[in-house]
Structure 1
């Protein structure tokens, strides 16, 4: 440290007042709050109407919540001059536009800090308000306004989107009103391996019409650039995408395809359980004990799990479960195939085998076969579109669940949509750039 060179302490630089067009002229610090007295650097003493020289008349004060320093709320107390034009008599005051928005209660730096604290530090609005020394509503308005300025209202936010994902999301767990929304995700960075996915928008409801209306509102030029739409098994999303994006390829997400087979396996196990024992699964029942093992990929089974399944399948009563389990494992192998061409061929063979000549006793497989045959094109499209799945949409849903927990729930969908876009819409910190 003996080679370090230190400058004279400068409160303007430390508190970043020079970026706001302000200069510190005094300070008052106690255990609960810091107040920095400031003046506006630019005199701004020329009349905006006639260009005449203004004569200083008096000063007015303006208080702005600023970035908190030293674990205490910090307030900027601005001393603003008022002028009268000697030529035309017009009155005006010094411009503080660099320091804050008109009528704002937070400085521009304070608003940026609040937004980053919400998005990057995962603080609640209440915690941010306490750090700034303002009310909850004041902090929330500032955060929302800054978020709209830097992200939500950005006209270029939708540029470059070529792959989108669509999924449903439960935004509240109450009986009052519709609890579902449709989320639209930009999967282009994931496909191109340039970054994570991001939330594009959130619309009320989970229906074909909700997604179709959102797509219809997009410009034709934007829709022409969309190449792929990833989705789950809901046919409403498929129909809306086909009607509004006829040139785009629809891809059914592998997670949801495997989930269909897993559901068929569970229903078959439960049916056989009832048939053979006359009751639901209980501790000690072979089928119930193996319920999680049945969902594990064959290549990941331990020796103990393999032995458990071998014993389970030696009983003739469990032959239907074994047949359904075999289809489930073949599906996993198709998706895990290192060669996508071989995986596609395996999936085509699988769909063909469960779509024809399935014994009537295997009711779950017959239902699965009809579904796979109906969505075969969307399922197989995944193998032709590397790194295209709706998995990142599920990840964003998880982040939104965390957001709702921080806020202890939301009652207003508009506020929830705004916060969700800030949380998962690709916001990048600005204060420390």
Structure 2
């Protein structure tokens, strides 16, 4: 801007003090921090009880952590005037509710800055606390309370949800008690092509009762609006959906269908490995060396990988692995077929072939066939509803793993759920607009 108009430097506006109802009267800069001495310019001399005008009595000092300025933690020393009523002897102080919450240790702008650092910048609470020169507990409490008030407790965030994904998630790997929670994801933006998926809620435990209770706690309007529920092979989620959302369509997404087939392939390979060589896979064993190649789609194999598989399949001992690999590749090919109608037909043929005539020796395929036959309607429903997949749910699970790593683990499940909602609840655009 070549013709920009500049104003005289204004410490109050630059430090956002005017928005808090403060004015700076002094400053002290130190290598490890900065202090701004402030006052509340507005008089507050009228008695709350009798309405008479009070007389100035003294001032008290309130110290608040503020938004870091100039790479320094910044503290506000707010001189708050106290008054005394000559008629009723009441003593009160100037109203500072616009500056900070009652008994709060962070200015309201510092709370928003900390919330922005968690939601948008994905900083740890420890890093934010260091920047504010205050304790971890002070920052954590302020961030969680502000996040709940501004975003999480807003019932409008459940509006417009028509496609949900449900899955389990391990929130910790040590200690006693349940380590799993049920996560519910809004997949509507993925289906409609309007944005990314977002975390709706996280409930302790993983069972039919957990998901059923969560659905029952929602409003009737929310339940009536759900059209599709994407899930894995867990029967409990399927039963809860059928009981609470009778009009919704259950979809077993490709991620978990392929994962089931891949697990069957791995178990077959491991069983044949033990039967033929008498031990688990080791470096140099053909089957063990091809374990990753077996899970690669046939259309993506390199020439080297083709030769590796041919070498494995030339042995009569590995015929069961080849049979299971063939089923796995047919399932992958069905989902990769550009024609959804043709892909559905391919998968129907696979399910039908697994439902009859599979040799009992192929225990892994027999078990897979029973699962596919029981959930055939849910598996094939994917092809009639483009964009319905639990893949984004797994992506959010990955982000939650990153969150747990950033925080070096969580001990409090309530804190973990709130942090998870702030991190993956889709609040970033709203916070950006809130900070403008």
Higher deviation after alignment, 309-318 or 88-97: 88-97
Distance 1:322 1:3 in 2: 74
Residue 58 of structure 1: SS of its match in structure 2?
strand
Deviations 1:292-328 (A, max 9, x none): 1111001100111112222322233222221111111
Measured after TM superposition, the shift of residue 274 of structure 1 is 2.3
Residue 101 of structure 2 is matched in structure 1 by: 101
Give the CA RMSD over aligned residues. Answer: 1.9
> Which residue of structure 2 aligns with residue 134 of structure 1?
134
Deviates more, 1:253-262 or 1:38-47: 38-47
* Structure 1 residues 175 and 132: CA distance shift in structure 2, 3 A: closer
The structural deviation recorded for 1:281 is 2.0
Equivalent in the alignment of 2:264:
264
In structure 2, what is the equivalent of residue 366 of structure 1? 366
Name 1:216's counterpart in structure 2: 216
When residues 337 and 208 of structure 1 are mapped into structure 2, their CA distance, relative to the original with a 3 A threshold, is: same
- Whole-Å Cα distance in 1 between the matches of residues 339 and 109 of structure 2? 52
Residues 222-276 of structure 1: CA deviation (Å, up to 9, x unaligned) = 1111111111111111111111111111111211100111111112122222222
Distance across 1 between alignment mates of 2:254 and 2:12: 56
User: Which residue of structure 1 lines up, in the alignment, with residue 289 of structure 2?
Assistant: 289
Which position in structure 2 is the counterpart of 1:402?
402
**1:387-426 equivalent positions in 2, closer than 5 A:** 387-426=387-426
Which stretch of structure 1 is more off in the superposition, 378-387 or 184-193?
184-193
Query: In structure 1, how many angstroms separate the alpha carbons of the residues matched to 2:23 and 2:348?
Result: 71
**Could you list the per-position Cα deviations for residues 142-171 of structure 1 after superposition, in whole angstroms to 9, with x for gaps in the alignment?**
111111111122222222211111111111
Segments of 5+ residues of structure 2 without an aligned counterpart are: none
Deviates more, 1:359-368 or 1:208-217: 359-368
CA shift at 1:121, angstroms? 2.4
Listed as ranges, the matches of 1:60-71 within 5 Å are 60-71=60-71
2:180: which partner in 1? 180
Are residue 345 (structure 1) and residue 337 (structure 2) matched? no
CA distance in 2, matches of 1:425, 1:384: 28
Deviation for aligned residue 1:352: 0.9
Q: Partner residue of 1:245?
A: 245
2:116 is aligned to 116
Quote the residue 1:235 is aligned against: 235
Helix, strand or coil: the match of 2:16? coil
Residues in 2 aligned to 1:318 and 1:341: alpha-carbon distance in whole angstroms:
34
If the length of structure 1 is used for normalisation, what is the TM-score?
0.95
Structure 2: how far apart are the matches of 1:69 and 1:274? Answer: 65
**1:47 deviation in Å?**
4.1
Post-superposition shift, 1:183? 1.1
2:200 is matched with 200
1:275 match: 275
Indicate how the Cα distance of structure 1 residues 2 and 248 shifts in structure 2: closer, same or farther if over 3 A, else same.
closer
Q: CA deviation at 1:72?
A: 1.6
Secondary structure in 2 aligned to 1:157? Answer: helix
Please give the alpha-carbon distance, in whole angstroms, between the structure 2 residues aligned to 1:280 and 1:174.
28
Given the two structures, how large is their TM-score scaled by the length of structure 2? 0.94
Task: Indicate the residue corresponding to 1:19 in structure 2.
Answer: 19
- In 1, the alpha carbon distance for the partners of 2:219 and 2:368 equals 38
TM-aligned CA deviation for residue 27 of structure 1: 1.0
- 1:88 Cα offset (Å): 5.6
Deviation readout 1:156-200 (Å, 9 max, x if unpaired): 222221111111111111141111111111112222222221111
The secondary structure found in structure 1 opposite 2:155 is: coil
What is the rounded CA distance, in whole Å, between the counterparts of 2:87 and 2:161 in structure 1? 56
Q: Aligned residue for 2:92?
A: 92
Specify every segment of 5 or more residues in structure 1 that has no aligned partner in the other structure, as ranges. Answer: none
Equivalent position of 1:81 in the other structure: 81
Q: Distance in 1 between matches of 2:19 and 2:78?
A: 15
**Change beyond 3 A, Cα 1:162–1:87:** farther
Deviation at 1:111, TM superposition (A): 0.5
Number of equivalences: 433
Q: How many angstroms does 1:48 deviate by? A: 4.3
Match of 1:154 in 2: 154
Alignment partners' CA distance in 1, 2:378 and 2:124: 41
1:76 is paired with a residue whose SS is strand
C-alpha separation in 1, matches of 2:228 and 2:393: 14
Q: Supply the distance in 2 between the matched residues of 1:287 and 1:2 (Cα, whole angstroms).
A: 70
Question: Structure 2 CA distance, aligned partners of 1:280 and 1:86?
Answer: 90
> How many Å apart are 1:112 and its aligned residue?
0.9
2:114 & 2:307 partners in 1: Cα distance?
57
